[in-house]
């Protein structure tokens, strides 16, 4: 029997995009998907989606061509590490910003 002096706290919320706010601005690398290697995109079937499953911020869609919400993606590269076909690569943000993001 639980001790009545202690109250057990639980959360009924679930995580979703942006729980920590728009964090894409401090990302160092961004994930890029090569759809010619992506299993769902190649087969036209809802298979794999390990990128969606392992994304800690729920920024990957579960579409036949998965999309990554870069407003909330932190660039942790878990999706790229878990992709069995190597369809996701991490690319430096400098290639998209033209240099220092603080300029």
Distance separating alpha carbons of residues 78 and 50, to the nearest angstrom: 10
Partnered with residue 90 across adjacent β-strands are 31
pTM of the model: 0.74
Q: Does any domain span residue 37?
A: yes
pLDDT for the residue numbered 24: 76
pLDDT for the residue numbered 9: 57
Q: Does any domain span residue 86?
A: yes
Domain count, the chain: 1
pLDDT for the residue numbered 62: 92
pLDDT for the residue numbered 7: 65
Q: Does any domain span residue 8?
A: no
pLDDT for the residue numbered 97: 72
Distance separating alpha carbons of residues 9 and 57, to the nearest angstrom: 23
| CB count in 10 Å sphere of residue 38 | 21
Domain that holds residue 70: 24-97
- Give the chain's residues under pLDDT 70: 1-2, 6-20, 98-103
Distance separating alpha carbons of residues 103 and 99, to the nearest angstrom: 8
Phi, psi of 85, deg, nearest 5: -105, 0
Distance separating alpha carbons of residues 4 and 20, to the nearest angstrom: 34
């Amino acid at each position: 029997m639980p001790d009545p002096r202690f109250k057990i706290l639980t959360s009924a919320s679930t995580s979703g995009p942006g729980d920590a706010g728009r964090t894409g601005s401090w990302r160092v690398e961004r994930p890029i998907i090569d759809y010619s290697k992506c299993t769902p995109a190649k087969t036209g079937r809802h298979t794999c989606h390990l990128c969606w499953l392992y994304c800690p911020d729920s920024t990957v869609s579960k579409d036949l061509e998965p999309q990554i919400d870069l407003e909330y993606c932190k660039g942790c590269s878990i999706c790229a590490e878990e992709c069995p076909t190597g369809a996701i690569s991490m690319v430096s943000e400098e290639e998209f910003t033209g240099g220092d993001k603080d300029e």
